[in-house]
Structure 1
Amino acid sequence: MPFVKKKFVAQKKQRAFLYLMNELGYTQKEAQRLIAKGRLLVNGEPLTKAGGDIEGEFEFIYFEPITKGLQPTFETEEFVVFDKPSGVLIHPQNRNTPYSLIDELKYQYGRDANITHRIDQETSGLVLCAKNKTSERDIKIMFQERDMKKTYLAMVHGEFPETLCVEAPLLRAEDESAIVRMVVRVDESGKVSKTDFKLLKYFPELDMSLVACKPHTGRQHQIRVHLFHVKHPIVGDPIYGQDENDIVKFLDKELSQEERFSKSGSQRLLLHASELEFDLYGEKYNIKSHVNFEALALQYIHNIH
């Protein structure tokens, strides 16, 4: 379990954040943030005052990363790229999350290493991670300025056209109904969004297509919503392309794997981040996933993975 609770002893009265800095190596900002999150407990109760003192025994809840042996696809002095399997979260959802990619990164490269962008839990593929605070800042700026070119592969329902450019504004729905807890939709009042699509292969016996997707903007669920919008939802998508009852069942974790397969065509979302292209520190990089996504997708479609 990455989040562990351990007992410590402060030999003399002192500010709690100073103890975390001096004894555990946190920066002042990190120490104060962890205290504000209720991670330091005195007599079983969270220390709530930012400048609070401690003396004697107390408990501290902190992130202790674990490894499952996932090896990076690509590495330099400044950054590393992992080929994330489907089902692995980028960050823990809560203190009970058993494992996420940030575990692997920090276990292998230390506390200052950090993930610089996100892909969905069920999306597999390339994730660019910084090894230190400086490269983290520089890589995040690169993403903000859209200097990163990303290519995804998706297996979709139906026969896809040779090429297609979708420019449909996307809105993250915010209301109380269950249906929109995770759902993004095309809406004229939404944010400008653009994705280029190219057909790679059509499988007539399945009536499915393998498609390359190049997003020009980075909206949540952008590729999934744009493909649904043009009536070619991604195989295995439990939200876009499904009826409301099944979406709610999926969000409530009540949709069985068998039901999901029969409704969507796969037990996982068949979307893969396959290529990253960018310039950093005067070098050009074109990093490609080592996963044979076509073969993997066909295994899921035939339910033999």
Structure 2
Amino acid sequence: MNGNGDVISVTVPAEADEDRLDRMLAGLVPQFSRSRLQTLIREGRVTIGGRTIVEPKYRVNVTSGADTEITISVPPPKPATPEPQDIPLDVVYEDDALIVIEKPAGLVVHPGAGTPNGTLVNALLHHCADSLSGIGGVERPGIVHRLDKDTSGLMVVAKTDTAHRSLAEQFADHGRTGVLERGYRALVWGVPPRKYDTIDAAIARSPQNPERMAVRANGRNAITHYEVVQTFSGADGSPVAGLVECRLETGRTHQIRVHLAHIGHPILGDPVYGAGFRSKSRLLTDLQRKSLETLGRQALHAYLLVFAHPVSGETVRFESDFPADIQALLETLTGT
């Protein structure tokens, strides 16, 4: 699509069955979501045989025995509301459809209350300024998953409507029927009793504090699979912490942090869900304690991201090492 918009013409074959206009176009113009097509129809940008149609439910019935031409006038993407900002990005991979970045701790993904700018979206609007074709008619990056402000690691972001729809569907499916995988590594207090286990506990907003999540019977289904990879000893030689790898089967807010705290093994440095374990720092060596204090955030990193490329269909895999701050803590825990 160029800066002046585009005109797309599609042909409905004479043998096509009668159907709603929006549904028919969704099959003929797969680069646009159905909701986007409905908006274009309501805006009077769709014509059938030269006649403007403004009702998405309009029944297209090819009765003349001849092919029918439908024309869509697509306006140029509207400028994004957030301001593009020249914020450094650690780009792992990029092509015309998507970008994979390594999000550092401290970077918020979306502008919002209290964080109107300085976010990942602001950075992407600057970095991808010449390559965004418009998500839902707006010149913006397509965010399909998020990481907490103080969680580091891999994220994929769509640059086109087609890529956004494909990736959104994959993340909504959580790898149940596709190749999607999201892997996280965390340093936790104590050592979970089983090397491999699954945490199946519903999550909802905490009634005491709406900014926190909590395990609640009336919450949304949430499943986390984990493996204990390594254990670490403290000042007296007893196990004090562990390295776990987590895979998500669902994607709830703060899911890993809430689930690990729920089983009694919150993430080291977590100021929200691990605050009750601060007294356990007395079990650490002086060097371990100092390293944890220096970290100043939850020791959680999104190290694995696997998905089907939205254009080629090829399975792509990205892996990431711990950033320097968590790696420093890990080294003091192992005594290296």
How far apart are 1:150 and its partner, in Å?
A: 0.3
Matched, 1:81 2:100: yes
Residues 151-230 of structure 1 mapped to structure 2, 5 A cutoff: 151-160=183-192, 161-173=194-206, 175=207, 177=208, 180-205=209-234, 207-230=240-263
Q: Is the 8 A contact 2:230 2:243 kept in 1?
A: yes
Residues 69-108 of structure 1 mapped to structure 2, 5 A cutoff: 69-94=88-113, 97-108=116-127
Structure 1 residues 300 and 66: alpha-carbon distance in aligned structure 2, compared to 1, 3 A threshold: farther
> Which residue of 2 is the match for residue 52 of structure 1?
none
How far apart are 1:62 and its partner, in Å?
A: 4.8
Deviations 1:70-128 (A, max 9, x none): 13112232111110000000012248644111122111112343322111101100111
How far apart are 1:183 and its partner, in Å?
A: 1.4
Q: Is the 8 A contact 1:82 1:127 kept in 2?
A: yes
Deviations 1:247-295 (A, max 9, x none): xxxxxxxxxxxxxx89x85411111111111223421111112x334x6
Amino acid at match of 2:184: Y
Structure 1 residues 98 and 153: alpha-carbon distance in aligned structure 2, compared to 1, 3 A threshold: same
Alpha-carbon distance in structure 1 between the residues aligned to 2:272 and 2:81: 34
Structure 2 unaligned regions, length at least 5: 1-38, 40-78, 130-138, 279-288
Amino acid at match of 1:72: V
TM-score w.r.t. the length of structure 2 is 0.60
Alpha-carbon distance in structure 1 between the residues aligned to 2:81 and 2:271: 34
How far apart are 1:131 and its partner, in Å?
A: 1.2
Q: Is the 8 A contact 1:267 1:300 kept in 2?
A: no
Alpha-carbon distance in structure 2 between the residues aligned to 1:95 and 1:183: 17
| Corresponding residue SS for 2:214 | strand
Q: Single out whichever of 104-113 and 220-229 deviates more from structure 2.
A: 104-113
Q: Single out whichever of 80-89 and 112-121 deviates more from structure 2.
A: 112-121
Aligned residues: 223
Alpha-carbon distance in structure 2 between the residues aligned to 1:71 and 1:277: 18
Amino acid at match of 1:163: Y
> Which residue of 1 is the match for residue 322 of structure 2?
292
Q: Is the 8 A contact 1:78 1:132 kept in 2?
A: yes
| Corresponding residue SS for 2:91 | coil
Aligned alpha-carbon RMSD (Å): 2.8
TM-score w.r.t. the length of structure 1 is 0.66
Residues 47-86 of structure 1 mapped to structure 2, 5 A cutoff: 62-86=81-105
Alpha-carbon distance in structure 2 between the residues aligned to 1:144 and 1:292: 27
Alpha-carbon distance in structure 2 between the residues aligned to 1:155 and 1:170: 22
Q: Single out whichever of 147-156 and 109-118 deviates more from structure 2.
A: 109-118
Q: Is the 8 A contact 2:82 2:111 kept in 1?
A: no
Deviations 1:110-160 (A, max 9, x none): 234332211110110011101122211221122112232100011101123
Q: Single out whichever of 62-71 and 99-108 deviates more from structure 2.
A: 62-71
Matched, 1:149 2:181: yes
Alpha-carbon distance in structure 1 between the residues aligned to 2:227 and 2:95: 31
Give % identity: 30
Alpha-carbon distance in structure 2 between the residues aligned to 1:298 and 1:102: 27
Deviations 1:11-44 (A, max 9, x none): xxxxxxxxxxxxxxxxxx8xxxxxxxxxxxxxxx
Structure 1 residues 95 and 109: alpha-carbon distance in aligned structure 2, compared to 1, 3 A threshold: farther
